[in-house]
Structure 1
Amino acid sequence: MLRPSERWYWTYCPTKDRLLLDISDDAQFCSPFAASQLISQPVQQALSMAEAEMFWAIDDSLQLLALPPTVRLEICLTALSSAFVLPQGHKSWYFQAYSEYSPKAFELVRLHGSNSQYALVVATEGQSSSCLLLGEVDTLAGKTLPRLHLLRLLNNRLLPLQQGAQYRQSA
């Protein structure tokens, strides 16, 4: 898997209408975010040390799922690029409500609409969180949200990722 580098640069491409991450002379990551979704359009903005640390925190969280390295990389880079996206309106009514929960940034959670899906918490603010969908999900309203869709939800719509049963020792 690629490792973050000080030679990586964020840029906006008007031809593709996408936020890009220049990884090398031969490789670019094309985010799913268009100009209309962005707070600003960066021009040769170097990847920061904080972003590199976030990359590793996201990758560590994704280790809990059996994802191929290329998929983990795509999710990591999409999650990093979400920092450039305008704040989203709440889409909480699309998902079932549960008891209050306070997720941490880069934590994996589950959402339940008509079906269940994993999401990565990319930011938290008060009683809501911005999440990146890890797969397509059908909402309670009958709408299908695509993989890598960014949405903001009330925290009571999020469930912690359940770990496998813990082994107990008996005396």
Structure 2
Amino acid sequence: MLTPSERWSWTYCAQRDRLLLDISEQLQFCSELSAAQLTEKPQAKPLSMAEAQAFWNFRDSLQPLNLTDAGLLELCLHALAAGFAQQAGHKSWYFAEQAAAAVAEYQLVQLVGMHGPIPALVLQRDGDCASCLLLTEGYSLSGKLLKRCSILRLLSNRLAPVRPSQYFAQSA
């Protein structure tokens, strides 16, 4: 698996209207974020030490999932790209309220939508809200299809820690 490097840099590509992460001359990650969703349009902005640390935190949190190296890397890079996203209003009405539980940054949680639980990763805590990355697609309570790797801001009472038996690979 690739590891963060000071040679990685963020760039906004107007032609694709996407935030990109230049990893090497042969490899580039294209995020889901368009210009309208960005707080800034970086040009060759190097990956920071804080972003590199966040990458490892995201990777450690996602490690228990049954993912390929490519899938794990993709989710980590989407989680990093979320740092450039404008903060949106919370979308808590998309999900059912759950029993109160303390959740922390980098924690795997589940949200309850129309057809059951949807796994997510807490990217950032902000008071009683949390920004989360959806790890699979799923339906909101109203039936709206939410795409995998969407970034949603939710009230904490919509998040529940994932039980070990859910979504995790079984270890021998």
TM-score interval for Structure 1 and Structure 2 normalised by the shorter chain: over 0.9
The amino acid across from 2:119 in the alignment is Y
* CA distance, structure 2, for counterparts of residue 119 and residue 94 of structure 1: 14
Partner of residue 39, structure 2: 39
Aligned residue for 2:76, secondary structure, equals helix
CA RMSD of aligned residues (A): 1.2
Partner of residue 136, structure 2: 135
* CA distance, structure 1, for counterparts of residue 151 and residue 6 of structure 2: 26
Which deviations, in whole Å up to 9, do the C-alpha atoms of 1:30-71 show, x marking residues without a partner? 000000000000111100111111101100010111111101
Matches within 5 A, 1:60-75: 60-75=60-75
Which deviations, in whole Å up to 9, do the C-alpha atoms of 1:65-119 show, x marking residues without a partner? 1111101100000000000000011110111101223321111100111121100
User: Could you list the runs of 5+ residues in structure 2 that have no partner in the other structure?
Assistant: 166-172
Per the normalisation by structure 1, the TM-score is 0.94
Q: How far is the alpha carbon of 1:137 from its aligned partner?
A: 0.8
> Which is greater in Rg?
1
Matches within 5 A, 1:1-171: 1-115=1-115, 116-164=117-165
The amino acid across from 2:59 in the alignment is D
Instruction: State the identity %.
Output: 50
* CA distance, structure 2, for counterparts of residue 100 and residue 159 of structure 1: 8
Q: Where in structure 1 do 4 or more consecutive aligned residues deviate above 4 Å? A: none
Which deviations, in whole Å up to 9, do the C-alpha atoms of 1:110-157 show, x marking residues without a partner? 011112110011111000100010011111111110101110100000
Aligned residue for 1:118, secondary structure, equals strand
Aligned residue for 1:90, secondary structure, equals coil
User: Could you list the runs of 5+ residues in structure 1 that have no partner in the other structure?
Assistant: 165-171
**Aligned pairs, number:** 165
Aligned residue for 1:73, secondary structure, equals helix
* CA distance, structure 2, for counterparts of residue 155 and residue 99 of structure 1: 10
Aligned residue for 1:129, secondary structure, equals strand
Aligned residue for 2:78, secondary structure, equals helix
